[in-house]
């Protein structure tokens, strides 16, 4: 660890940790040394404010503001540190351990650029630095989304959650939303796609959309959200689909409350015929809110042990809390082909052993599906004849037909 004063131009300090006692964050010390060698320093909270005004601070690229539960009494001071750092053009990474969501919320709103939980996940500090150093995307001007005040709809809510990494939940959510938005040429329904994976959500990448600051601002104060503020957070894809992306910066999943999620769901449902939510794989304290509100909750799995184990764990968790497990509709992605009798037998045995019904079999779309996430287009636009696209289109048609029948009956 170096002092906060550089010796010469070749050893100028590029970053500083700011904490009550950096020895409480030994993994941060290791990561700073791994990334920066000797070109970093350590400052206390009060020292940081004085140092920002010194000529030596001109070389700083970022600071790592490390705090734990004991530091919550100093939030005003830490907010001032963030403000002064931003004024000097210095990036800020929050390193937090045992800090309440309210405190994190306050500091992120002050302008912190990145958040990394402590203990630090392997390589996460380096990734946070790389994200901060990327130039901001130049977004094409977006037409303002307008919502009719008090629209009075009661849109259907379809939720998609992957029970293991890489099972295709975002592919499913994006393409289901697009197929619903284009299901009818004459009277196309209004569809809203919401990315609730607040940390690693990639709906924006799948549709080649920028992430707007307005999204975080909306989530930060849903109690005062109205049609205008909700509409300002949405982006339109090809004039047919409205999208609420994940925030531009990584935020803690628990910074959003169940009440926040319920307000957004209610607002979206009142203005759209269909609302599709892409969920994080993690269960959080507002997962129950989404489950209770959902009309259909698609749980995506694959024919492998990790999916089987996670499906069983999810089943036990929901049943233990007496939550509506029956809302889950298990969908198997990359399912065996019709002629693969052995594979079909394995699917049947998996369902029986878990005590679940695997209702939806989605075929393996192959390379076009793998590439679709980088093309910024739904499968209907990039690989219309793909078997996975066709199956999702059939699902959208059946959901729309069911919804239309129920509306006529009502």
- DSSP 3-state assignment of 343? helix
pLDDT computed for residue 5 by the predictor = 45
- Say which DSSP state 134 is in: S
The rounded distance, in Å, linking the Cα atoms of 241 and 117 is 34
Q: List Cβ neighbours of 289 (8 Å cut-off, separation of 6 or more).
A: 258, 261, 262, 265
Over its C-alpha atoms, the chain yields an Rg (Å, rounded) of 24
The rounded distance, in Å, linking the Cα atoms of 94 and 101 is 13
The rounded distance, in Å, linking the Cα atoms of 25 and 27 is 6
| Helix (H) / strand (E) containing 363 | strand 358-363
pLDDT computed for residue 127 by the predictor = 87
Q: Is 343 exposed, middle or buried (0-12, 13-18, 19+ CB in 10 A)?
A: middle
Please, how many CA atoms are within 13 Å of residue 360, restricted to the half-sphere of its CB?
Answer: 23
* Phi, psi at 243, each rounded to 5°: -130, 130
Task: Tell how strand 15-18 and strand 40-43 pair up.
Answer: parallel
pLDDT computed for residue 292 by the predictor = 96
What is the crossing angle of helices 213-220 and 101-110, to 10°?
Answer: 140
Considering the entire predicted model, what is its pTM? Answer: 0.75
Tokens 């849109």 found at: 155
What tens-digit pLDDT sequence spans the chain (410 residues)? 444 544 445 678 899 999 999 999 999 999 999 999 999 999 999 899 999 888 888 889 999 999 999 999 888 999 999 999 999 999 999 999 988 877 888 888 888 888 888 988 888 889 888 888 876 555 444 555 666 555 567 899 999 999 998 999 999 999 999 999 999 888 889 999 999 999 889 999 999 998 888 898 899 889 999 989 999 999 999 999 999 999 987 778 778 999 999 999 999 999 999 999 999 998 998 999 999 999 999 999 999 999 999 999 999 999 999 999 989 999 999 999 888 889 899 999 999 999 999 999 999 999 888 877 777 889 999 999 999 999 999 999 999 988 665 555 44
* Phi, psi at 115, each rounded to 5°: -130, 130
């Amino acid at each position: 660890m170096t002092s906060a004063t550089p010796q010469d131009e070749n050893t100028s300090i590029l970053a500083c940790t700011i904490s009550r006692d950096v020895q409480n964050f030994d993994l941060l010390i290791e990561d700073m040394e791994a990334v920066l060698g000797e070109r970093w320093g350590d400052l206390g909270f009060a020292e940081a404010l004085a140092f920002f005004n010194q000529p030596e601070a001109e070389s700083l690229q970022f600071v790592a503001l490390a705090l734990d539960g004991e530091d919550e009494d100093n939030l005003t001071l830490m907010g001032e540190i963030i403000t002064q750092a931003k004024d000097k053009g210095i990036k800020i990474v929050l390193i937090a351990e045992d800090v309440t969501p309210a405190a994190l919320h306050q500091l992120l709103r002050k302008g912190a650029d990145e958040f990394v939980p402590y203990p630090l996940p392997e390589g996460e500090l380096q990734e946070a630095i790389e994200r901060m150093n990327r130039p901001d995307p130049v977004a094409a001007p977006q037409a303002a989304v307008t919502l009719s005040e008090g629209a009075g709809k009661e849109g259907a809510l379809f939720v998609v959650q992957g029970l293991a990494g890489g099972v295709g939940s975002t592919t499913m959510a994006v393409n289901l939303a697009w197929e619903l938005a284009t299901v009818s040429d004459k009277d196309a329904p209004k569809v809203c796609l919401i990315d609730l994976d607040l940390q690693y959500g990639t709906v924006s990448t799948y549709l080649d959309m920028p992430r707007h600051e307005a999204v975080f601002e909306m989530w930060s104060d849903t109690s005062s959200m109205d049609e205008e503020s909700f509409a300002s957070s949405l982006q339109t894809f090809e004039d047919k689909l409205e999208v609420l992306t994940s925030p531009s910066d990584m935020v803690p999943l628990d910074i959003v409350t169940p009440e926040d999620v319920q307000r957004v769901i209610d607002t979206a449902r009142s203005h759209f015929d269909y609302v599709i939510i892409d969920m994080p794989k993690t269960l959080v304290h507002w997962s129950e809110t989404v489950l209770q509100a959902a009309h259909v909750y698609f749980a995506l799995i694959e024919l492998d042990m990790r999916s089987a184990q996670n499906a069983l764990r999810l089943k036990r968790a929901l049943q233990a809390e007496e939550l509506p497990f029956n809302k889950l509709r298990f969908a198997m992605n990359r399912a065996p082909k019709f002629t693969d009798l052995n594979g079909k037998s394995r699917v049947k045995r998996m369902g029986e052993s878990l005590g679940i019904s695997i209702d939806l079999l989605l075929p393996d779309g192959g390379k076009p599906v793998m590439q679709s996430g980088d093309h910024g287009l739904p499968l209907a636009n990039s690989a219309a004849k793909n078997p996975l696209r066709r199956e999702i289109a059939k699902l959208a048609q059946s959901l729309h037909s069911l919804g239309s029948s129920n509306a006529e009956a009502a």
